[in-house]
Amino acid sequence: MVNLWTLYILILKKAFDKVPHARLVNKLQAHGISGNVSQWIAEWLQGRQQRVVLNDSVSNWLHVLSGVPQGPILGPLLFIIFINDIDNGIVNKLLKFVDDTKLVGIVSSPLEVKELGESGARVTCF
């Protein structure tokens, strides 16, 4: 088999909206961000509510338990911290930039094709 470069482009759609607040705070603390800073971020995330307005219809307010606000600089930074360990257990190269992630590998055998596919599946389940 010839050496082939293989590239998976993983666009983590709505990934910012999927980050569970409690898990994010746990990851911050695991990275040594604790004390007042960790508490401030947790308080900044909690208590958020959202509703949908469509024409004359308005939904009830619901508490938001996941997601990082995308507007401020802190949102993308928190997301990067959240996905920082996405490549644990991945044999191939993983290039991360906020919610645009690329999995790259050179495959020259059926086993390497299988490993790259398994890495892609692991990343998408993250």
Full DSSP string of 71-106: SSTHHHHHHHHHHTTTTTT--SEEEEETTEEEEEEE
Determine how many CB atoms are found less than 10 A away from the CB of residue 109: 10
pTM over 0.75: no
Q: Please answer whether residues 24 and 82 qualify as being in contact, where contact means their C-beta atoms are separated by less than 8 angstroms.
A: yes
Give 116 or 7, the one with higher predicted confidence. Answer: 116
SS3 label, residue 95: strand
In this predicted structure, the answer to whether residue 120 has a pLDDT above a threshold of 90 is no
Q: Which residue has the higher pLDDT, 92 or 60?
A: 60
More confidently predicted of 34 and 2: 34
Q: How far apart are CA 92 and CA 124, in angstroms?
A: 14
The single-letter code of the amino acid at 116 is L
How many CB atoms are located within 10 Å of the residue 29 CB?
A: 14
Per-residue pLDDT averaged across 39-46, rounded?
A: 88
pLDDT category of residue 9 using cuts at 50, 70 and 90: low
Three-class SS of residue 48?
Answer: coil
